[in-house]
């Protein structure tokens, strides 16, 4: 974190804050449920002209008549008349720790090469692996911290970050240590995911590498307590459903919670493997068969869609409507990474969801709040504005939540509040 940012934080921080008279509050309330699905995903819990009081980092009171004790309280007060308050956004799928630059690959793609062709010639994930192995921990930390700070400016108050550009024990641990350090030094919550099974390194056979994941990486990472989740890239030419299942079974033995990259290019049984291993989310889902959708129906596994990847790689968009119609809870995330989605702007992801996944505005908002929280298993604590929950919220400079999507490509966010502290204020 830059010193300037830190001193700015100290200047504006307060654990108690009173947000007064917000024109609209979008609560995304879940009333004890972990997520919203089907028709319920369109319910955002809009209330008008309400105030919110956060004390010691938690939402203590929400109401439309300010009790005099609160009015007199000597706390930071923010007048939100004519503004809209939402829960902090949650980006539940990112690869924001990386070094190097793949702008040249991007150019090649624009000129006609495909993502898969570039990967075949040693580009793609392996290109970033080379840069990450060479980078020091401090270099990675500085690059990643800047990216998280930028995410915060778009309204992200909780973020997940994956390893997966190390592909050997030392480098995977280096990445996870960086992610854990981000969580320490930044004002947002950063959730670490071990993604050793992201690709196969050049210097080992597939079996050798899977053994390294199973018997070196997982035990060491668990012992050092470096990850909460375990992920894999289940895809043709990457990890098969059987290999994914083997890796997840070992992960769960060490208390890591599975989430899975699957169905990005082909349907190869990843969803079924993920469900068998109790995955909290299945992510991507650009290519879905009727069997895959049926498998997810009625389950509590979150479908985390990443429309930024479809946009950036020019591949099909996930069948969001079909998922929602089948009552599958849908979350949205940026998938911020240097190869397939080079953007941390979650508001852009939301815009793509509305325009190209054909999700409505309300479904989209729930997908980056309560359902995204469920994709990280933390919807009891964050993802909605309800008393008792963590005081993570956003104040937009608009009287109508629909403006956030209607007025596209423009950041109307004014304040970002995390645990009752103003951690960011955008100049308007």
* Closest approach of ligand NIG to the CB of residue 285, in Å: 12
Selected binder of ligand NIG within 128, 281, 349, 364 (CB under 6 A): 128
309 binds, among ligand NIG, Fe ion, none (CB under 5 to 8 A by kind): ligand NIG
Q: Does 91 bind Fe ion (CB under 5 A)?
A: no
Selected binder of ligand NIG within 24, 240, 264, 379 (CB under 6 A): 264
What interhelical angle do 169-185 and 125-134 show, nearest 10?
80
Nearest to 62 by CA among 49, 75, 74, 72: 49
Q: Does 231 bind Fe ion (CB under 5 A)?
A: no
Per-residue b or e along 366-392, where b marks 16 or more CB atoms closer than 10 Å to that residue's CB: bbbbbbbbbbbbbbebbbbbbeebbbb
* Closest approach of ligand NIG to the CB of residue 128, in Å: 5
Question: Of 171 and 264, which CB lies nearer to ligand NIG in the complex structure?
Answer: 264
Question: Of 238 and 415, which CB lies nearer to Fe ion in the complex structure?
Answer: 238
Q: Does 261 bind ligand NIG (CB under 6 A)?
A: yes
Contact 264, 335 (CB under 8 A): no
Selected binder of ligand NIG within 45, 339, 383, 420 (CB under 6 A): 339
* Closest approach of ligand NIG to the CB of residue 291, in Å: 22
418 binds, among Fe ion, ligand NIG, none (CB under 5 to 8 A by kind): none
- DSSP-assigned beta bridge partners for residue 62: 52
Q: Does 125 bind ligand NIG (CB under 6 A)?
A: yes
264 binds, among ligand NIG, Fe ion, none (CB under 5 to 8 A by kind): ligand NIG
* Closest approach of ligand NIG to the CB of residue 333, in Å: 10
Selected binder of Fe ion within 335, 362, 392, 421 (CB under 5 A): 335
Q: Does 366 bind ligand NIG (CB under 6 A)?
A: no
* Closest approach of Fe ion to the CB of residue 358, in Å: 22
124 binds, among Fe ion, ligand NIG, none (CB under 5 to 8 A by kind): ligand NIG
Q: Is the dihedral of CA 289, 309, 345, 229 positive or negative?
A: positive
Contact 26, 44 (CB under 8 A): yes
What interhelical angle do 137-153 and 169-185 show, nearest 10?
50
Q: Does 140 bind ligand NIG (CB under 6 A)?
A: no
Tell me the per-residue interface mask from 78 to 97 with ligand NIG, x by CB under 6 A, - otherwise.
-----------------x--
HEC letters along 70-120: HHHCCCEEEECCCCEEEECEEECCCCCCCCCCCHHHHHHHHCCCCHHHHHH
Selected binder of ligand NIG within 154, 233, 248, 401 (CB under 6 A): 233
- For ligand NIG, the nearest residue by Cβ is 339
- For Fe ion, the nearest residue by Cβ is 335
Nearest to 228 by CA among 156, 149, 160, 158: 160
DSSP state letters, 280-323: SEEEE--S--HHHHHHHTT---EEEE-HHHHHHHT-PPP-HHHH
d(CA 76, CA 108): 51
CA distances from 288 to 186, 397, 419 (A): 37, 38, 38
Please tell me whether residue 229 adopts helix, strand or coil conformation: strand
Stretch that binds ligand NIG, among 124-132, 133-141, 152-160, 207-215 (CB under 6 A): 124-132
Q: Does 244 bind ligand NIG (CB under 6 A)?
A: no
Q: Does 151 bind ligand NIG (CB under 6 A)?
A: no
Nearest to 178 by CA among 73, 58, 284, 95: 95
Order the strands of the 330-332 sheet from edge to edge. 89-91, 156-162, 189-197, 229-234, 257-262, 281-284, 302-305, 330-332
Which residue ranges make up the site for ligand NIG (CB under 6 A)?
A: 95, 124-125, 128, 233, 261, 264, 309, 335, 337-340
Which residue ranges make up the site for Fe ion (CB under 5 A)?
A: 335
């Amino acid at each position: 974190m830059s010193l300037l940012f830190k001193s700015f934080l100290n200047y504006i921080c307060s654990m108690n804050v009173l947000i007064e008279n917000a024109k609209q509050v979008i609560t995304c309330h879940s009333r004890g449920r972990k997520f919203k699905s089907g028709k319920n995903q369109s319910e955002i819990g809009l209330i008008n002209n309400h105030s919110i009081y956060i004390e010691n980092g938690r939402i203590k009171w929400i109401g439309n008549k300010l009790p005099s004790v609160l009015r007199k309280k000597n706390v930071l007060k923010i007048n939100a008349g004519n503004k809209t308050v939402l829960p902090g956004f949650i980006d539940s799928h990112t690869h924001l720790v990386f070094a190097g630059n793949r702008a040249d690959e991007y150019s090649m793609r624009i000129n006609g090469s495909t993502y898969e062709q570039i990967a075949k010639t040693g580009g793609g994930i392996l290109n970033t692996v080379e840069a990450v192995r060479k980078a020091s921990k401090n270099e990675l930390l500085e690059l990643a911290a800047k990216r998280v700070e930028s995410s915060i400016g778009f309204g992200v108050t909780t973020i997940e970050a994956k390893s997966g550009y190390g592909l050997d024990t030392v480098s995977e641990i280096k990445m996870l240590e960086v992610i854990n350090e981000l969580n320490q030094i930044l004002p947002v919550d950063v959730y670490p995911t071990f993604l050793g099974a992201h690709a196969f390194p050049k210097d080992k056979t597939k079996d050798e590498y899977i053994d390294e994941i199973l018997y070196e990486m997982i035990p060491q990472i668990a012992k050092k307590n470096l990850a909460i989740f375990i992920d894999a890239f289940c895809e043709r030419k990457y990890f098969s459903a059987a290999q994914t299942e083997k890796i997840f079974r070992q992960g769960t033995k060490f208390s890591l919670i599975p989430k899975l990259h699957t169905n990005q290019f082909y349907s190869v049984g990843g969803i079924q493997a993920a469900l068998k291993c109790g995955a909290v989310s299945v992510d991507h889902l650009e290519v879905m068969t009727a069997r895959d959708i049926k498998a997810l129906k009625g389950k509590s596994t979150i479908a985390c869609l990443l429309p930024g990847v479809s946009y950036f790689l020019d591949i099909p968009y996930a069948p969001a409507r079909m998922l929602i119609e089948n009552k599958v809870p849908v979350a949205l995330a940026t998938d911020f990474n240097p190869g397939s989605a080079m953007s941390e702007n979650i508001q852009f992801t939301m815009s793509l969801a509305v325009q190209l996944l054909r999700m409505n505005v309300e479904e989209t908002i729930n997908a980056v709040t309560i359902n995204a929280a469920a994709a990280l298993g933390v919807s009891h604590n964050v993802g909605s504005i309800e008393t008792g929950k963590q005081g993570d919220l956003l104040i937009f400079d608009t009287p109508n939540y629909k403006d956030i999507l209607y007025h596209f490509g423009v950041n109307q966010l004014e304040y970002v509040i995390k645990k009752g502290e103003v951690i960011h204020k955008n100049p308007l």
